[in-house]
Structure 1
Amino acid sequence: MKALVLAGGKGTRLRPLTHTSAKQLVPVANKPVLHYGLEAIRDAGITSVGIIVGDTGNEIREAIGDGSRFGIDVTYIAQEAPLGLAHCVLIARDFLADEPFVMYLGDNFLIGGITGPVKVFRQSDYDAQILLTKVTEPRFYGVAELGPGGEILSLEEKPDRPRSDLAIVGVYTFSPAIHEAVRAIAPSARGELEITDAIKWLIDHGFRVHSHLVSGYWKDTGRLQDLLECNRIVLEGLEPRILGSVDGLSEVTGRVALEPGAIVENSVIRGPAIIGACAKINGSYIGPYTSIGAGCVVENTEVEYAIVLEDSTLRGVSRLTYSLIGRNVEVTRSEGLPNTHQLMIGDHSRVQVQA
């Protein structure tokens, strides 16, 4: 069995961060989202992995390499434009050959892994298996409507008026029958080959399609609130470790991971929280559900429920919360009068300030 991981796409909902970085490499608890998916695939016993890449392909290649450090063998497949999930299957035909495979969306986050669903598929004669979970805003996802016996009645991609609250999780399992389906469908109104249309084609032509309800935690990390929530969930299960240095004037409580080379001085850290390697925390408060990346400097600042990427500086900020701060960013206090906010912000940004 093989795996096809989708790591293309533009990540428009996380701009401006994704103008310069792949959305699949945004970290949760200081580890890229894509790493969690590759580890789940490996743990399910799959080692041959094709990764679909687009504009950020060079960054993905640099971050993943040949896959050996994950215990997998990686083949990269370039997609010229984001033309739909079914298009990814189409261009990966040579790699996939005639083997069954898992298709895994690289920006998805699924607690508990995929070992169970993969085992069910391997022991069955299904031609496709989709995972479903209940969500509060189904219009943002592919949606499935099930009959009283669990049969799939309909599938819609991001419908304006969803027929159910069951979102299609970004992990699919297919037999080689899917190759006929993706060749048979036409692009949707948004110009993409939709995987939901390919699955509907399988159902309409008598192939066996199974739905599996996921009880564990799942998120598509394409939005800020989902990314912060994933960070919270992972930090809840954090194993405490103090591998850096903490001075006698500091207080570290709860589940806190302090990576090698990190320095904490005259500060309070209340977990769950993770402080990356060689980060420096001075005169600051780091509150729960916060990830501080490697090489960051946090001075005279209060921050909680936030993700700060590596090599950024927060200095003199009275309160920062519910935030995602990119790499090599400076957030500092303006000195002198008048007491103003001074901002240099890129396109598609969002900033909230207290008047």
Structure 2
Amino acid sequence: MAKIDKAVLLAAGRGTRMRELTVNLPKPMIEVRGKPVLQHIVEGLREAGVRDFLIIVGYHADAVQNFFGDGSRYTIEIQYATQVVQDGTGRVVDLARNFAGDSPFVLNYGDILVDPANYKRLLDLPHDVEAIISVTRGEDVSKGGAVFLNERMELVDLREKSKPG
């Protein structure tokens, strides 16, 4: 796998479970320790070597675009794409196709904080690794997406919020 210097960040959702906090801004723009969650993510990825970002926006897109602009203040480049219909994470890859082309990229939720050291570990993978996905096992897939792997632990399908039963 070639050096990863691109990231697609998902920041289009409404954050409906956080009601009062997301009336006027999207969930990735909620402040944690004095700055928006999305800023923590952008800075962590930048420190790991990512320089080219595509932020998928939707709900209150202007809050994200006005805050980050073109990325020059962070010494990175930021482009935006709008997810008009909130039809799940899997569909976002289509929005990122022109941005990423054949280049490897990080696909990251814009509202989940992780230890920034993990970004560096992810980007320092051996060159023979074609792709990596980080998931958490859950019993009730109706609360999130379902990931299907084959016997070699390769991704074969990704389904958004399956119905219970």
TM-score by length of 1: 0.40
Whether 1:78 aligns to 2:82 is yes
Deviation string 1:300-350 (CA, Å, 9 cap, x unpaired) is xxxxxxxxxxxxxxxxxxxxxxxxxxxxxxxxxxxxxxxxxxxxxxxxxxx
What code does the residue aligned with 2:33 have? A
Distance in 2 (alpha carbons) for counterparts of 1:129 and 1:85: 16
Whether 1:113 aligns to 2:118 is yes
Distance in 1 (alpha carbons) for counterparts of 2:102 and 2:149: 30
Quote how far apart the aligned CAs of 1:109 are.
1.0
- Given candidates 11, 24, 34, the residue that maps to 1:30 is 34
Whether 1:129 aligns to 2:129 is no
Paired residues in the alignment total 158
Q: Runs of 5+ in structure 2 lacking a partner?
A: none
Quote how far apart the aligned CAs of 1:78 are.
1.9
Q: Runs of 5+ in structure 1 lacking a partner?
A: 162-355
Distance in 2 (alpha carbons) for counterparts of 1:90 and 1:153: 17
What code does the residue aligned with 1:109 have? L
Matched ranges for 1:164-175 at <5 A: none
Matched ranges for 1:323-342 at <5 A: none
Aligned-pair identity (%): 34
Whether 1:55 aligns to 2:59 is yes
Question: Bigger shift: 1-10 or 129-138?
Answer: 129-138
**Aligned-partner SS, 1:63:** helix
Instruction: Show the counterpart of 2:153.
Output: 151
Instruction: Show the counterpart of 1:346.
Output: none
Q: 1:39 to 1:136 in 2, by over 3 A?
A: farther
What code does the residue aligned with 1:5 have? L
Bigger helix fraction? 2
What code does the residue aligned with 1:151 have? M
Distance in 2 (alpha carbons) for counterparts of 1:115 and 1:139: 32
Whether 1:141 aligns to 2:140 is no
Q: 1:96 to 1:146 in 2, by over 3 A?
A: closer
Distance in 2 (alpha carbons) for counterparts of 1:46 and 1:35: 14
C-alpha contact (below 8 Å) 2:89/2:160 kept by paired residues: no
TM-score by length of 2: 0.80
C-alpha contact (below 8 Å) 2:146/2:160 kept by paired residues: yes
How large is the Cα RMSD of the aligned pairs?
2.7
Instruction: Show the counterpart of 1:89.
Output: 93
Quote how far apart the aligned CAs of 1:98 are.
2.0
Quote how far apart the aligned CAs of 1:16 are.
3.1
Structure having the higher Rg = 1
Question: Bigger shift: 35-44 or 65-74?
Answer: 65-74
Distance in 2 (alpha carbons) for counterparts of 1:151 and 1:98: 22
Quote how far apart the aligned CAs of 1:128 are.
2.7
Quote how far apart the aligned CAs of 1:107 are.
0.7
Quote how far apart the aligned CAs of 1:74 are.
0.6
Instruction: Show the counterpart of 1:14.
Output: 18
Q: 1:67 to 1:97 in 2, by over 3 A?
A: same
Instruction: Show the counterpart of 1:44.
Output: 48
Q: 1:6 to 1:156 in 2, by over 3 A?
A: closer
Q: 1:71 to 1:135 in 2, by over 3 A?
A: farther
Greater RCO, CA 8 A, separation 6+: 2
Quote how far apart the aligned CAs of 1:19 are.
2.3
Distance in 1 (alpha carbons) for counterparts of 2:83 and 2:34: 28
**Aligned-partner SS, 1:82:** coil
**Aligned-partner SS, 2:59:** coil
Instruction: Show the counterpart of 1:100.
Output: 104
Distance in 2 (alpha carbons) for counterparts of 1:113 and 1:64: 23
Q: 1:86 to 1:135 in 2, by over 3 A?
A: closer
C-alpha contact (below 8 Å) 1:144/1:152 kept by paired residues: no
Q: 1:131 to 1:61 in 2, by over 3 A?
A: same
